[in-house]
Amino acid sequence: MSTFKYKLLSTSSGIIEGEKEAPTKIELITELRKTGHVILSVQQTTKDKKFGFLSGRANKKAILPFTQELATLLEGGIPIDKSLAILLSSHDIKIRPIVENLLNGIKSGKSLAEALNSHVKLFSSVYINMVRAGEEGGVLPQVLKRLGMFQEKLQKIRGEIISAMIYPLLLSSTGVMSVGALIVYVIPKFSQIFEGMGISLPFTTSVLMGVSQYSIKYGWIMFIAAFATFFLYKRARKDKKTSIKIDQRKLKLPVVGNLLWKIQISRFARTLGTLLENGVPLLKSMDIVKDVLSNQHLANILITVKANVKEGAGLTVSLAQMGFLPEIAVHLLKVGEETGNLDKMLLKVADNFDTDIEQKTKRLVTMVEPVLILLMGAVIGVIVISMLTAILSVNDMRF
């Protein structure tokens, strides 16, 4: 059984909030519908604590229920200012100042998109431009509903990737800490015992003792070197040309490079498809998508592609010429352009890539886990065998 938080809209008593246990979200929604109230949101409760540096991330997570609830209210025919006022009376305290600011902006004559521009750190350019297109086309409730689905899909994909990587990272961290503890605390104690005996140690034990002494004496240099490397990397990323070269090399990494490329292509296809589906012009959409991509090499390619499209070239042809898309995606998008369903085909490409990314990530993690276990076992085994060899050599000398 899972615990869910729900919000209902009642014609008589306003918003009703509560928590309830249910086997699944769908079963709870079915049960809540029997009450006759409008369902604003149903979210599974989490144990995340929202403080410190996590507060910004907590606010971003609150955007999804905010979008879904606002879409539901607008679909019910409630005006935008009244809808925001209703949300303001019940919404999470972390986003309440934002909702209040949006409401004040609406009351002062701004559109919702204009009001959202005051919070660009919280609302992405994709979000703002889709809202603007929805307002201009008179389909804001439908656009917000699609935005909610878009955000939910992205959160699901991100969550699956993070979940897949947790165990390997935990395993690596535990192994490194175990080896570090042996080198820094355990081996020096044995070193003192062996040095007091004045005996000749096996080669592997001598090497291990040297590594331990070097780590204790010069370990701080390694920490400084690691910090300096990280600092220089961050500084290099600020230079556009260097950042492009770094990201280009990332895509050429064995196994991981192809996965990183497909993640970027999926993000490109889903964002561009969602924008086009909601009436944002192609050239404007490409500007937005360029900023969404985290790989600067691929984002730089889109600048050239946009210039070609502006001169009259086809989008798919330009992307194929620049090597931006794999062959299968090129064929699908060509069909989409020819039939006038480019937005739908982009979303289909994104779904296909998401499935492929999920499978490859799971396969990669499945391969990495035993390798890490064997590697950590081998390192710790070498340390233990080296120490046992030295101990046994002492016993041989006594007899």
Does residue 54 carry a pLDDT above 50? no
Domain ranges of the chain: 2-154, 155-399
pLDDT tens track for 171-214: 888 888 888 888 888 888 877 777 767 667 778 888 888 888 88
Question: What is the dihedral angle through the alpha carbons of 364, 370, 371, 372, rounded to the nearest 10 degrees?
Answer: 100
Fold of the 155-399 domain: Receptor-associated Protein (1.20.81)
At 93 the three-state DSSP class reads coil
Q: Given the DSSP bridges, would you call strands 2-10 and 38-44 parallel, antiparallel or unpaired?
A: antiparallel
pLDDT in tens, 56-114: 554 677 888 888 888 888 888 888 888 888 888 765 556 788 888 888 889 888 889 88
Do 322 and 286 form a contact (C-beta atoms < 8 A)? no
Angle (CA) 290-125-64 rounded to 5° is 120
Q: 2-154 has which fold? A: Receptor-associated Protein (1.20.81)
**Would the CATH topology of 2-154 be identical to that of 155-399?**
yes
Mean pLDDT estimate for the chain: 81
269-298 pLDDT, tens digit each: 888 888 888 888 888 888 888 888 888 899
Helices (H) and strands (E) in the chain, counts: 16, 3
CB atoms within 10 A of CB 162: 10
CA atoms within 13 A on the CB side of 361: 22
Is 47's pLDDT higher than 50?
no
What mean pLDDT comes out for the span 379-399?
73
Beta-sheet strand order (sheet of 38-44): 14-22, 2-10, 38-44
Checking if the pLDDT of 142 tops 50, the result is: yes
Sign of CA dihedral 82, 86, 89, 95: negative
